[in-house]
Every structure is written in C-alpha cells, then in structure tokens.
Amino acid sequence: MRKFREFIIEKLVLLCGIASIFFVVLIFLFLLKEGFAVFKTVHPFAFLGGKSWYPISEPPRLGILPLILGSILVTVGAAIISIPIGVGCAIYIAEIAPKKTKEILKAGIELLAAIPSVVLGFIGMVTIVPLAKMLFHLPTGLTALSGSIMLAFMAMPTIVSIAEDALYSVPKTYKEGALAMGATHWQAIWRVMLRAASSGILAAVMLGIGRVIGETMAVMMITGNAAVIPHSFFAPVRTLTATIAAEMGEAVIGSEHYFALFAIGIVLFVISFGINVTADLFLHKRQ
C-alpha cells in the first residue's frame, strides 16, 4: 500500500514536470508559428534593419530598428546607472556597513524589489519626467533617460542582492591574506575580493539587465513611445516590449501587424534567453 502511494506520487510529480515542459514548448511553438508568418511578406533583414515602423499605413512598413535601438538605449542607460551604484551598494553592505545599517539597507532593497513596476512607473512619471524636462530644458520629459533612470531602480535590487551574495561567499582567507600583507581594507576589496567574486557579480549584472529588457509597463509610461530612431538620451523612444503591449490590442488578428508583433516577441525572447544563459554560465563558473 505504502509502495503504491509512493508510486502514485512519483508519477504525479513526473506528470507536473512533463506538463510544464509541454506548455513551454507549446507557447514557444505558437510564438514561432505566429512570428515567422510575417517573414512571408517582409524579409527578415528588412524587418530587423528597417528604419520605420508604421504598422497601420498602407502598405504597412514593419522595420523594428527604431524599437531595437530604443530598447538598447534605455537598457544601456539603465546599466550605466545601476551597475556602479548596485555593485557599490553591494560592497558597502557586504564589507563596510555596520550591522544595523546593513540590516536596514537590505530591508530597503527588498522593499524596492517589491514595488510593482506600474507603481514605479507612475511615480517616475510624476517625478523623474517633470524633473528631466526642467533640468535639461526639453520639450518633453518623456525620454530614454527618464526610462533608464527608472529601470535602474528596478535592476538595482537584483544586482545588489546577488552581488552581495557573491562578495559574501568569497573565502575569508583571501581577505585575511591581503590584509596580512599590509593591504588596506579597500585594497583587499578592490584587488582581491572583487576579483574573486567577479563571476557572481557579472551574473548579478546580467540578471539585472535581463529584468530591464523585459520590463514593459513602466517604460511604456515614461519613455514617450515615439517609434523613431533615437539620436540621444534626451529623445523619446519606444522599446520592443512597449510596442507589443501598446499595439497588440488594436492589431487585427491574422494581419501583418499582428504577426509582426509576434516576431518582436521572438526577438525579445532571443535577447532574454541569451542574457540568462550568459548569467548562468557565470554563475556556474563560480562553483
């Protein structure tokens, strides 16, 4: 009887495993089927490299280069802001902060991670946007820069907590060895500990950026949503994710526009997948 129960449970768990894989494959196939349909009318290169995105003109012009550039610009900006601050914060928490401060900071970071992205977007809209407009004398504060700043806040918790973990798990003997040789605390951190934690920190950065790339709601609210090739951080942009979210509702099912949005989904998938795999590689190198 006992054995039979074990058997049933084992099979049930197996079933769950298979089901999840099955659904992932199904979703993936669906994405591919719908996405690749667009390439019947648009050449893949024209799609990826096309400079204009007018999906409802006649005939529709489906070049996603402005969207790719928009995503890249916003992401690079967020990375430039969040990586130094995030890693610095991780160093501070792992190595420098007194116990109390450390606890408070960690709780704060967790809190930041728990804020829903729409809420962050909304806060950004009423704070960062007008501020950017005023500070840089822009016609609108809805720019790539505003998006980057806000996304940096979203990437930060991931970067800080994983990088802090990586620093924390550096063997204490490295630090001791460096200090015993007369290194200052900072030299021990900079020359030895960061080096020892480098793969973990890179993974932290990758996962943080992965979060930024996939973010939708908040960027949609804050970057201005202009599907034109951006020439600076101070121009409005539109990202791949925002495009899908904004246009899927109005795209006629089965139209070229509809298929194009799925193709954008494939592009996003490839990017995210690449980033996650890289992060994984770094994390495994560590072990």
Binding site for other proteins (CB under 8 A): 171, 173-174, 176-184, 187, 191-192, 195-196
Q: How far is the CB of 179 from other proteins (least distance, A)?
A: 7
- Which residue number, 83 or 189, has a Cβ lying nearer to other proteins? 189
- Which residue number, 187 or 225, has a Cβ lying nearer to other proteins? 187
- Residue found under tokens 């925002």: 242
Q: How far is the CB of 94 from other proteins (least distance, A)?
A: 15
Residue 168's CB: how many other CB atoms inside 10 A?
14
Structure tokens at 180: 């015993």
Return phi, psi of residue 126, to 5°.
-95, -10
- Which residue number, 36 or 174, has a Cβ lying nearer to other proteins? 174
Q: How far is the CB of 171 from other proteins (least distance, A)?
A: 7
DSSP symbol at 237 = B
Closest C-alpha among 232, 267, 261, 245 to residue 121: 245
- Which residue number, 173 or 287, has a Cβ lying nearer to other proteins? 173
Cα–Cα–Cα angle for 274, 275, 281, rounded to 5 degrees: 90
Q: How far is the CB of 173 from other proteins (least distance, A)?
A: 4
Contact criterion met (CB below 8 Å) for 155 and 74: no
Q: How far is the CB of 203 from other proteins (least distance, A)?
A: 16
3-class DSSP assignment, residue 241 = helix
Q: How far is the CB of 83 from other proteins (least distance, A)?
A: 21
What is the separation of C-alpha 194 from the centre of its chain, rounded to a whole number of angstroms?
Answer: 23
Q: How far is the CB of 123 from other proteins (least distance, A)?
A: 40
Residues 6+ apart with CB under 8 A from 204: 86, 87, 90, 158, 159, 160, 161, 162, 163, 166
3-class DSSP assignment, residue 13 = helix
- Which residue number, 62 or 170, has a Cβ lying nearer to other proteins? 170
Structure tokens at 79: 């990375």
The CA–CA distances, whole Å, from 213 to 40, 47, 77, 147, 268 equal 28, 20, 12, 12, 8
Rounded CA separation 77/90 (Å): 20
- Which residue number, 46 or 183, has a Cβ lying nearer to other proteins? 183
- Which residue number, 36 or 190, has a Cβ lying nearer to other proteins? 190
